[in-house]
Amino acid sequence: MEEKTIYVAGLGLIGASLALGIKRGHPDYKVIGYNRSDKSREVALERGIVDEATSDFKEFAPLADIIILAVPIKQTIDFIKILANLDLKENVIITDAGSTKFEIVKAAEHYLKDKPIQFAGSHPMAGSHKSGAIAADVNLFENAYYIFSPSSLTKADTIPALQDLLSGLHARYVEIDAAEHDQVTSQISHFPHIIASSLMEQAGDFSESHEMTKHFAAGGFRDMTRIAESEPGMWTSILLTNSQAVLDRIENFKQRLDGISDLIKAKDEDAIWEFFNRGRQIRKNMEIHKRAGVDSFYDLYVDVPDEENVILEILELLRGTSLVNIRINEENREDINGILQISFKNERDLKRAEGLIRKHTNYRVYLN
């Protein structure tokens, strides 16, 4: 097999996890890395995430067959400008990892045009609140969507070559136009982050005059606001590089809030019922819980008594089944989330676990 040199610029959570996946799929490839700070560079070298590392972005670029820019969006665009003026390998493939795509693809088309360079945008749609090479995880992108956004510098074999490079991630590869990517993610990711942070701010202000707010906040409130703990810098650059789509979603939502206010003022019971019912039906039809997308897995809920060794008993039954996550929701028993929640990677594991628990225990088991 042909040996290649892969340059991962930015050994943070995403870059270092990508490097691990590349090594898993192609142990014969040489992976070299750039990182600005010493910490992640040292961690990446110590853990064998990269074979060599530099703090000078320009140093390794001319050696690479494929370059992955895994730095914040603004730096990604700055690095594209720098790459435009370097003497790179003929036909080098450049890609990125940024959470928005249109501005990056536009910058690549502008600065790299007329050069013997291939460019396709990428967005690995998984992450976590952790950062740095220390948090690198070879399984981070398993079953997650890995999006490619072609540019005018994408050739017929550019995306297949990237898919092959990244095969060790075990992700789900999808191609989508950069502008459409930014539209869709504004609705399902960027705007929800604004709502989560606004809700937290509102609850924070409110709790100053209503002391019990923080004690009662559980279950649904926690699910709605978990993403408010995300890294502020990343989300600032996302909003600033997808402004129009996000502003459209905000305007649209304001109208929806006005609509429900009017129904409440008018005491229109049927219309309010319809409002909740529509939301419920749309969520069911989207089958969100069934998809291992950005953040969703196959969840099993077990209503367990508060007794010694119950969790151990269940884990023992599930020995040999790979779990993605397990958590015990004790704060709130008002809904289905007040119990043991076990997440699986696929439906087969979920069904297997459901069968085992039903067969060997009397605990109530729910799938959603």
Exactly one of 14, 147, 162, 245 binds ligand NAD (CB under 6 A); that residue is 14
The distance in angstroms from the start CA to the end CA of the chain is: 46
Min dist CB 65 to ligand NAD, Å, is 21
Min dist CB 76 to ligand NAD, Å, is 6
Binding-site string for ligand NAD from residue 128 to residue 167, where x marks contact by CB under 6 A and - marks none: ---xx-----------------------------------
Distance of alpha carbon 22 from alpha carbon 4, whole angstroms? 11
Residue 36 binds to ligand NAD (criterion: CB under 6 A):
yes
Min dist CB 294 to ligand NAD, Å, is 9
SS3 state at 287: coil
The number of angstroms, rounded, from the C-alpha of 214 to the middle of its chain's C-alpha atoms is 28
Distance of alpha carbon 356 from alpha carbon 354, whole angstroms? 6
Exactly one of 22, 31, 67, 70 binds ligand NAD (CB under 6 A); that residue is 70
- Determine how many CB atoms are found less than 10 A away from the CB of residue 33: 27
Residue 186 near residue 249 (C-beta atoms within 8 A): yes
Of 73-81, 181-189, 276-284, 330-338: span binding ligand NAD (CB under 6 A): 73-81
Distance of alpha carbon 170 from alpha carbon 138, whole angstroms? 10
Exactly one of 4, 8, 50, 75 binds ligand NAD (CB under 6 A); that residue is 75
The interaxial angle of helices 232-240 and 73-84, nearest 10 deg, is: 60
Distance of alpha carbon 182 from alpha carbon 185, whole angstroms? 5
Exactly one of 40, 149, 186, 189 binds ligand NAD (CB under 6 A); that residue is 40
Residue 124 binds to ligand NAD (criterion: CB under 6 A):
yes
Min dist CB 234 to ligand NAD, Å, is 5
Residue 168 binds to ligand NAD (criterion: CB under 6 A):
no
Min dist CB 196 to ligand NAD, Å, is 14
Residue 13 near residue 135 (C-beta atoms within 8 A): yes
Min dist CB 9 to ligand NAD, Å, is 8
Residue 189 binds to ligand NAD (criterion: CB under 6 A):
no
Count the site residues for ligand NAD by CB under 6 A. 24
| Pairing between β-strand 323-328 and β-strand 340-344 as defined by DSSP bridges | antiparallel
Burial 136-166 (b: 16+ CB within 10 A, else e): bebbbbbbbbbbbbbbebbeeebbebbeebb
SS3 state at 119: strand
Of 35-43, 246-254, 256-264, 297-305: span binding ligand NAD (CB under 6 A): 35-43
Residue 99 binds to ligand NAD (criterion: CB under 6 A):
yes
Exactly one of 11, 83, 162, 217 binds ligand NAD (CB under 6 A); that residue is 11
Alpha-carbon radius of gyration of the chain: 23
Distance of alpha carbon 66 from alpha carbon 86, whole angstroms? 14
| For ligand NAD, the closer CB: 47 or 155 | 47
Where on the chain is the footprint of ligand NAD (CB under 6 A)? 10-15, 35-37, 40, 70-73, 75-76, 97-99, 124, 127, 131-132, 234
